[in-house]
Structure formats: structure tokens, C-alpha cells
A and B are shown apart, each in its own frame.
Chain A
């Protein structure tokens, strides 16, 4: 591609957007601002409202209330064909009665852009499919169709590119490869990308900012590392990676930390890493931050030790071993231990203590579903 193809994307703003369908609310007063040039991911389980958000931005659904702004301009009432937005659909939606090149030219020709042929060819070479321009979409593999769909959207240089789980239909290996390519293309063209996915790895891998959605609301939004390191709700902590959660009454408070008591163990979290400081709260820690010991460890005061418990399951996953430890009156704790051949073999049924650094604890704003509020 030539150097002058770098275009600035525009920022997207959703103000108080609500969408009611007969019988349920798909989006509940959503506010969202995506700065220009960002790779933004909306992550959530199916039915959380992420696709509805995308369709509202594309103009394929009308919000019940609220405003949609692109580059500061209110487009809430514009028709889809009037919006500076292009979509890569989950099913790709390539026109079967046109060749690959005709598909890519479609948007340009609708806007009466004179050198559509050259632009379409450039876009096709960007996705490295120049040799397949005369084929029909049905003759291409899933990965190739995905790239054509991407080229068809990108060629129009939209202010905002919407991606509706475009990698969902690909197998794992191809998906990883396409993720890398997609990210590279985004950096190259500098557009604003809004990517909708239910694959947390994909979202964390590609996006600058991830918004985790649940039941029509954004639960938490931030850089992937921040979301992973400090989830604020039980939903986020479970949806983004795995979590060990401990629930108990706050029994001790000092200026920097809060502790709860669970089954005779004291579990502490730094105050600045906790959303709630009183009553019944949930404290979590990621499985790879947890260590286990075959005798009660003597550790400095910045560690939490819980136990003893029994190893009830060991899983070999390649890079790490996954241990499931049942601790009486506390619950089950998952531990990921890197497979570096250092630790001695621990057998199923062994009596162990688990430990982690206080700085790795996080306190949630809510309790997991199924726990009663105190």
C-alpha cells in the first residue's frame, strides 16, 4: 500500500443508548466513548447486547432512546447507507452473485468513486488474495472469505470499522493467524476498530481497550492487563480468565488493607485494590499467582496462607499443570503451576497449603451469583 493511505479514524460516542425488544432489554442506558484510532473490543457472552450495540452503530437497529455520535456528529437518525461505517459480518455476507473483486468494488461504486478498480485491487493485495479476484466467494475457504470481507469493508476507508465476531467461524490455528493479521492491518491503516467477540483471549490479545458486557450493560472497561489484574465484579473475574473467589465477613481493617475470615483463615486485600470495605465481600486471586506447599510454609507478612487442603484433581495442559485443591470450610482452589520441571512431583490426595502475595488479591464490588448478601 502507498504511504498516503493512512487515514485517521473518528471517535465513536454512545450516549445513554437503550434498546428494548419485545420482552427484554438488550441494552440498558449504555454510555461508551471510543477514541479515534483505537482497537476497541466489546467482550461478553451471547445475549449480553454486544451485537445489538454494533448493529445500532451500523444503523441496522434503531435505539429506543439515546444518541450515537461519530466524529462528534449525531448520526442516530441516519440510514445505514449514509453512515461512515463499514461492517465485517459474522457470516461474512459476501454477495454470492458477484466475483471477489466485484464484492470489494461494491461500496466504492455505490459512492461513485472513479478509480474503484485500482482501489479494489490494492485492498485485495493488502489481504494477500490478488490471485483470487475473479473467483466467486463460494469457491474460497473460510479464511479467504474472511479476508475478502475485511477488504470489502476496509477499501471504503470508513471512519469506524465494525467487526462482528469475524473470526468465530475459523479454526483455532487460522484464528490466531488472522488475529495477528487483523491487528497489523489496523496499525497500518490507523482506523478505529470496534470488535465484538465472546472469545476473551481474542479480545485481550488484540484490543487496546476491552469493555466487558453483561446483561445489556458494560461491567468494566479498561486495558486488558488492568481488567485481568483487577477485575471489579464477580462476572468480570470469571469471564476474563479464571478466578479463585473467597467470600466472608470483613473482620479486620487498617489504613491500607481489609481482611475477611473464611473457614478459620484470614484473607487480606489491599484497600486500594478492593471495591468494598465492609460487610460480606468477595476477594479473588488468579490461579497462576497461587503457590502450594506440602508443609505449612513460613512466609513473610505480605503473604496469605490458606490450608491445609487436599489435591483432588491434577491436569496436565502442556505449559502448566492445573491443580484443584479442596480446602475444608473454604472451598476449591485452582492453582496453575508452570511446567518447568523444578517442583517435586505432587501426588493426588496430598495434603497441601496454598499461598499468594497480598498484592495479588483483589476485592470485588459484588458477590458471585448464588451467594446471599449479609
Chain B
């Protein structure tokens, strides 16, 4: 006779429940993006594709989205470049303030966002910098930088310095060693750092709220709209972002699997 095992039944059930619990809000958001609602999007009124087809019929939603994408891209670009350079410097070179720099990079991650947002707003006010697009981007670069450094640093640490020496030994000047060997080998780390950075920037509400003045971003728009009822177009955008992320992840997985299959041949 087989012995009854708790792990055999309880664990899968528990996992399933946890998964359902996590998915319900997302599924809800996606379903209500198809709701034929006019003003308030809280009661199911029938299926429609109108909101998906004309996302930008609500101009304010799309403007907020465009702002969020623009801020995300610019902050990611700067944070990734600066962060990669910092990560390489922190691992490869010893300089006086190395541990101080390392420590201060952790501060934005450790400080409560509200404190950071308020602090930054105060700072911008004091130096006479009107809040808007520029201040938002500066704030985003600052907190994304920490995450980029942490992510890229892990990659630099696993990079065998002998490979760079081999490059120099094979007649590559320092610039070519960097572009042909160091950078390609760090690329997976840099790409994940950039994706993370964009996701953080796109998603950020608190720091943006304090520092963006009249500029609207997507999270800020939803926050304001929530009191009046979020329009279905917002659901459409949220669903689209979610689906896009899933597609990207799946594509990477499939590509990796195909590559492995090809190599195994």
C-alpha cells in the first residue's frame, strides 16, 4: 500500500492557490479592458473591442503613456551607460573612495521612496529647478542607477580578466579589447539591467509624484483617475504592457531552447 504523503497533494494545491491569487487582479484588468463602459469601468456591460482599437480616443491616457515611455527610455539610456561604467570601475579598479561609492549606491534602494521623493523635491526647489520632465528624468536616473550597477557588477565579477589579456595579446588595442571582448561578454547583464531600469522607471509613482510638477505619467494618471473611475483605455494599456512583457520573456525562452537544441546536435 502506498503511504499518504502530504507533499504529494498539499504542496501542488497550495502552489495552485498562490498562483490563482496572484493572477486574479491581472485577469480582472485584462477582462475589463474589453468592457463596453462609458465612464466608470466597474460594472460589466458587455464585450467590445473599441477600447483596444481606439486607445488614444482618450487623449490624456495616451499623453501620459507617451510621457512614461519617453521618461523610461531616456532614464534607462543614461542609467545603463553610467551604471555599466561604474560597475566595471568598482570591480576592476581600486581607488580611494571605492567602498564609499559602493555604499552610496545602495542608499537609493534602502531609503523609503517617499523620503527620497520629498527630499529630491526639496532639493530641486532650493536650487530653483522647476519640477517637470527634466527633474523627473534626473530622479529616475538616480534610482535606476543603483539597480544597473548591482546587475552589471555581478556580470563583471564573473568575467575572466584573462580573456581581456588574451585580446591584448592578440594585438587588440585597449579600445578594441573593450568593444570586441569586454562589452559583448557583459551584454546579457547590461540588457537585463536596461530592462529592469525601464520597468522601474515606467512603474514609478511616488518619486515621480513629488518631482514631475504638471507632467503626467501613466501611473500618475491612473492614480488621479482612480477617484473618478479608471477609463477602460487604461486597462487596455496595462494589459498590453503585461502581454508584451510575457511575449518578450517567452521569446527569449524559446530562442534559448532552440539554440540549445541546435548546439546539442
Main DSSP-derived SS at the B contact region? helix
Which residues 161-210 of B have a CB within 8 angstroms of A?
162-163, 165-174, 176, 180-181, 184-185
Say whether B168 contacts A79, CB under 8 Å. yes
Q: Which chain B positions have C-beta within 8 A of A110?
A: 170-172, 176
Say whether B172 contacts A95, CB under 8 Å. no
Say whether B185 contacts A156, CB under 8 Å. no
Q: Is A111 an interface residue (CB 8 A)?
A: yes
User: Closest A-chain residue to B168, C-beta based?
Assistant: A80
Q: Which chain A positions have C-beta within 8 A of B174?
A: 79, 81
Say whether B165 contacts A111, CB under 8 Å. no
Say whether B263 contacts A136, CB under 8 Å. yes
Which residues 117-136 of B have a CB within 8 angstroms of A?
none
Say whether A139 contacts B162, CB under 8 Å. no
Minimum distance in angstroms from B94 CB to a CB of chain A: 12
Give Cα A58–Cα B165 distance, bound, in whole angstroms: 10
Q: Mark B32-72, 1 if CB is under 8 A from A, else 0.
A: 00000000000000000000000000000000000000000
Say whether A89 contacts B173, CB under 8 Å. no
Q: Is A91 an interface residue (CB 8 A)?
A: yes
Give Cα A93–Cα B165 distance, bound, in whole angstroms: 9
Partner of B172, one of A81, A85, A93: A81
Q: Which chain A positions have C-beta within 8 A of B163?
A: 93, 95-96
Partner of A81, one of B162, B168, B185, B263: B168
Q: Is A107 an interface residue (CB 8 A)?
A: yes
Say whether B263 contacts A95, CB under 8 Å. no
User: Closest A-chain residue to B166, C-beta based?
Assistant: A93
Q: Mark A125-140, 1 if CB is under 8 A from B, else 0.
A: 0000000000010010
Partner of B166, one of A89, A139, A156: A89
Say whether A95 contacts B165, CB under 8 Å. no
We find that the number of chain A residues with CB closer than 8 angstroms to chain B is 24
Q: Mark B142-174, 1 if CB is under 8 A from A, else 0.
A: 000000000000000000101101111111111
Which residues 62-91 of A have a CB within 8 angstroms of B?
79-81, 85-87, 89, 91
Give Cα A59–Cα B166 distance, bound, in whole angstroms: 11
Q: Which chain A positions have C-beta within 8 A of B170?
A: 81, 86, 106-107, 110, 152, 156
User: Closest B-chain residue to A58, C-beta based?
Assistant: B169
With A110-B170, A110-B171 known as contacts, the answer to whether A97 contacts B184 (CB < 8 A) is yes
User: Closest B-chain residue to A155, C-beta based?
Assistant: B170
Give Cα A86–Cα B171 distance, bound, in whole angstroms: 9
Say whether B173 contacts A81, CB under 8 Å. yes
Say whether A60 contacts B184, CB under 8 Å. no
Give Cα A283–Cα B185 distance, bound, in whole angstroms: 57
Minimum distance in angstroms from A56 CB to a CB of chain B: 13
Which residues 84-118 of A have a CB within 8 angstroms of B?
85-87, 89, 91, 93-97, 106-107, 110-111
With A107-B170, A110-B172 known as contacts, the answer to whether A80 contacts B263 (CB < 8 A) is no
Partner of A93, one of B160, B171, B173: B160
Minimum distance in angstroms from B179 CB to a CB of chain A: 12
Say whether A156 contacts B171, CB under 8 Å. yes
Minimum distance in angstroms from A171 CB to a CB of chain B: 22
Give Cα A136–Cα B173 distance, bound, in whole angstroms: 24
User: Closest B-chain residue to A87, C-beta based?
Assistant: B169
Q: Which chain A positions have C-beta within 8 A of B263?
A: 136, 139
Would you give 19 A-B contacts (Cβ < 8 Å), ordered by A? Answer: A60-B165, A79-B168, A79-B174, A80-B169, A85-B169, A87-B165, A89-B165, A89-B166, A91-B160, A93-B162, A93-B163, A95-B163, A106-B172, A107-B171, A110-B171, A110-B176, A139-B263, A152-B170, A156-B171
Interface residues of B (CB under 8 A from A): 160, 162-163, 165-174, 176, 180-181, 184-185, 263
Interface residues of A (CB under 8 A from B): 58-60, 79-81, 85-87, 89, 91, 93-97, 106-107, 110-111, 136, 139, 152, 156
